[in-house]
Structure 1
Amino acid sequence: MKNDILIRNAQLLNTPGKKMSIAITQGKIAVIAEKIDGQAEVEIDAKGMLVTESFVNAHLHLCKVYTLQMMDEAALKDYHSDGMGKAMTAIELAAQVKEKYHHSWILPNVRKALAQAVLYGCTHVRAFADVDSKARLEGVQALIQARDEFTGIVDIQVVAFAQDGIIREPGAKELMHQAMELGADVVGGIPWIEYTEADIREHVCIIFDLAVEFNKDVSMLVDDAGDAGLRTLETMAVETIRRGWQGRALAHHARAMALYPTPYFQKISALLRQAQMGVVSDPHTGPLHARVRELLANGNLVCLGQDDISDAYYPFGRNNMLEVAFLCSHLLWFTSRQDIHTLYDMVTVNAARCMGLKDFQIKVGAPANLVVLSQPDVVEALRFHEAPLYTVSHGKLVDAEKYHHIAIG
């Protein structure tokens, strides 16, 4: 059988010093060997450069991309204030832009951000769309349309996200149900935004009720403020176990973890393992972040996310997960060679595990999602954080030129 794609002279992570070839047929990796005879429809000479799994972004507020220009910087200043004590105020200020929400202008922004993902070798994104009385279902509709448009290029998991709360936000519960009926892939919550402990517990229960009803995974932004007393990560983990949703729930941010007393942190770490819950950290978008190194040392699953692209919370971002890893190397002081390899895993295979992706690795029989980089090793890849030379998504070579025009449009 003639191969669809044949990559020669590839440096793989697990075969240092050897140049390997990879044959791709019918969307899957068919052969990995030092030498593969025959030809293919598409042949790529990697010239000794690094070839790895493609990049994965487990956290992106995709409905908000490029909205910073539509508002002032009050929310940005509060969210980035020392100690993150004004995080709730920042969210309330950021909500103002949603009064203007309409899928007609959200969708072009979404397309641009996803085109950048393509250019930077990111083939899978967990994308949040706000659902509340202001945003209504405009963001969800735009993201679902984009998901369909980018099928086979970027896999998008659309998260129906109750950004402004459920109990405190009139109509949010009903809108969340409608969003799931429309076809959202993940149920998203933010329990810490509620006013009381009772409301927090009810918020978490409602999210899991929806997850069970629609048989969907859960993502929640937990403890995203400078308050050592926040315990929504614990509440989420306990409910995950109670509902039998182990391996299907993902925690995002958990910034208050930075302030937890060590004994409580150790208890939470163990609880996360029992719940089989990963944590997505975004250290570049806020002054506090989860205790990434300690979580990893304890055997917890951790990955990195882009979080924001030019919105009320962060002025930069371009869906370049190598850039995210580079920034986090400085913020987390992950600078040894092993640290840098760990960062790389957190934007590839670990992020894929957090999103529930199966067989996301370079092995025979796995779906062919990979990148050919412009550097020979992981350290140099992070140093330059350049776009890949080639991206293979779902077994097909991506037409980078096509998406370049969308990305700059």
Structure 2
Amino acid sequence: MDIILRKVRIKDEENLKDVAIKDGKITAIENSIEGSAAREIDAEGRVLIPGLIESHIHLDKALIADRLPNKSGTLAEAIEVTGKLKPTFTREDVEERARKALMMLVKNGTTHIRTHSEFDPSQGFTGFETVMKLKEEFKNLIDMQVVAFPQEGILKAPGTEEMMYKAMDMGADVVGGIPYNDSPAKEHIDLVFEIAKKYDKPIDFHQDFKDDADGITIQYVCEKTIKEGFEGRVSVGHLTSLGALAKEKLNPIIELMAKAKISVMSLPATDLHLGGRKDEYNVRRAVTPVRALRDGGVNMCLATNNIRNAFTPYGNGDLMQVAMLAIPVSHLGGADDLPTVLPMITTNPAKALGLKDYGIEVGKKADLVLLDTKIVNNAIIDIPDRLYIIKNGKITVETEKKIKLNF
């Protein structure tokens, strides 16, 4: 055996376990494993979780907040500011920033990401090609799915439709879309499905990102998903407009989403920052109704979206902090709710991304994180140090702690 993790806590209601790893796979999970390994770690009852999954992020736009600030804090200015900056991005610039963002994610226990990489006629494929290069370079540290993302729209930006097809030919893993930033929105959605069908790839929309529910298209996305047989292969990010709907209007939409097996990536750090900017009192939280969607059978995920740019001027690549933020924002701190949060950054996004060899089970890939906490239910609220991060059966990150108390 290559590694044995001894006395780990996988579930609060179960005994401590030993976990053995060989050739990048989990080979045994037992109360006590006989024999030895090249590396043995005594966890002393600490919590072992599968690697964190960052299901919605923009690497090519990371770490640019200081270049041209979004002073109003609105979505409109964020798009405007970023649109001005993108033509100035060089390959070297994108690579340097994306590399820094990736290292933030890796050291915080993220083993899989889905990154939206954009292109348009004004900037070409500078960022997209760079992210595709980093996908290969970082494959031993983190698995990357790259979304072909038309931030400026497709129909209103001539030349982008051809670029969408070229991006898929260049190896994009997912077809992206942004109906609320294009017109007509339904034609945009139809085109994204057409491309996805041609290349047999999943779809990920930036969806209904507004404070109100006027002109939402999530119902159309669900209907199209079912019609085209794409159930379970469509994800949507943001979806903040649903927070403006009363139950009698919201519930039928949730039922339709569950039927279409749509996955939702809630992005609280960004949505809280940009949303409700015109509210003078009783300022809205401007996030999608996570609890209602979860209770309605929708696969709910939590993700970062951006790190230190015009859309989100903060962040350090720690999904635990994103999940901690979501707990008070989405009322997820109750006794029955708290256990549902950790899956929103692990097993739920694994389902959304279609990962087949993920999880703490014999035969699965050894992508694991040992946390400095001894209670699984506290895995988020403790925001624990990640003591060991294991990717493909190899230890990629170790954390050493020295605390001296002078009382």
Tell me the C-alpha RMSD between the 2 structures. 1.6
2:145 corresponds to: 157
Are 1:7 and 1:22, in contact at CA under 8 Å, matched by a contact in 2? yes
Query: How far did residue 22 of structure 1 move?
Result: 0.3
2:403 corresponds to: none
Query: How far did residue 399 of structure 1 move?
Result: 4.2
Q: So what's the TM-score if we normalise by structure 2?
A: 0.91
1:405 corresponds to: none
Query: How far did residue 381 of structure 1 move?
Result: 3.0
SS of the counterpart of 1:157?
strand
Q: So what's the TM-score if we normalise by structure 1?
A: 0.91
1:213-271: CA deviation from partner (whole Å, max 9, x where unpaired) = 11111100110012311322122212111211111110111000001232221111111
Query: Partners of 1:13 and 1:135 in 2: how far apart?
Result: 48
Query: How far did residue 107 of structure 1 move?
Result: 0.8
SS of the counterpart of 2:100?
helix
One-letter amino acid matched to 1:332: S
Correspondent of 2:178 among 190, 193, 200 = 190
1:207 corresponds to: 192
Correspondent of 1:305 among 284, 303, 313 = 303
Are 1:13 and 1:52, in contact at CA under 8 Å, matched by a contact in 2? no
2:322 corresponds to: 324
2:126 corresponds to: 138
Alignment of 1:279-290 (within 5 A): 279-286=264-271, 287=275, 288-290=286-288
SS of the counterpart of 1:90?
helix
Correspondent of 1:263 among 245, 248, 252 = 248
SS of the counterpart of 1:97?
helix
Are 2:21 and 2:28, in contact at CA under 8 Å, matched by a contact in 1? yes
Query: Partners of 1:51 and 1:231 in 2: how far apart?
Result: 40
Return 5+ residue gaps in structure 1 as ranges.
80-86, 402-409
1:171 corresponds to: 159
One-letter amino acid matched to 1:68: A
Query: How far did residue 352 of structure 1 move?
Result: 1.0
Query: How far did residue 378 of structure 1 move?
Result: 3.5
Q: % of aligned pairs identical?
A: 31
1:134-191: CA deviation from partner (whole Å, max 9, x where unpaired) = 3321111111111001113200101110111111112111111111111111111000
Of Structure 1 and Structure 2, the greater helix share is in 1
Deviates more, 1:185-194 or 1:376-385: 376-385
1:27 corresponds to: 24
SS of the counterpart of 1:69?
coil
1:404 corresponds to: none
Query: Partners of 1:14 and 1:356 in 2: how far apart?
Result: 27
Structure 1 position 96 matched with structure 2 position 84: yes
One-letter amino acid matched to 1:127: T
Count of residues in Structure 1 that have an aligned counterpart in Structure 2: 386
Query: Partners of 2:80 and 2:177 in 1: how far apart?
Result: 16
Are 1:120 and 1:386, in contact at CA under 8 Å, matched by a contact in 2? no
Query: Partners of 1:387 and 1:315 in 2: how far apart?
Result: 24
Are 1:230 and 1:256, in contact at CA under 8 Å, matched by a contact in 2? no
Query: Partners of 1:238 and 1:122 in 2: how far apart?
Result: 33
Are 2:269 and 2:322, in contact at CA under 8 Å, matched by a contact in 1? yes
2:135 corresponds to: 147
Structure 1 position 246 matched with structure 2 position 228: no
Return 5+ residue gaps in structure 2 as ranges.
276-285, 400-407
Query: Partners of 2:129 and 2:270 in 1: how far apart?
Result: 26
Displacement over 6 Å in runs of 4+? none
Correspondent of 2:332 among 327, 331, 334 = 334
1:68 corresponds to: 65
One-letter amino acid matched to 2:9: Q
Correspondent of 1:235 among 220, 227, 233 = 220
Alignment of 1:110-129 (within 5 A): 110-129=98-117
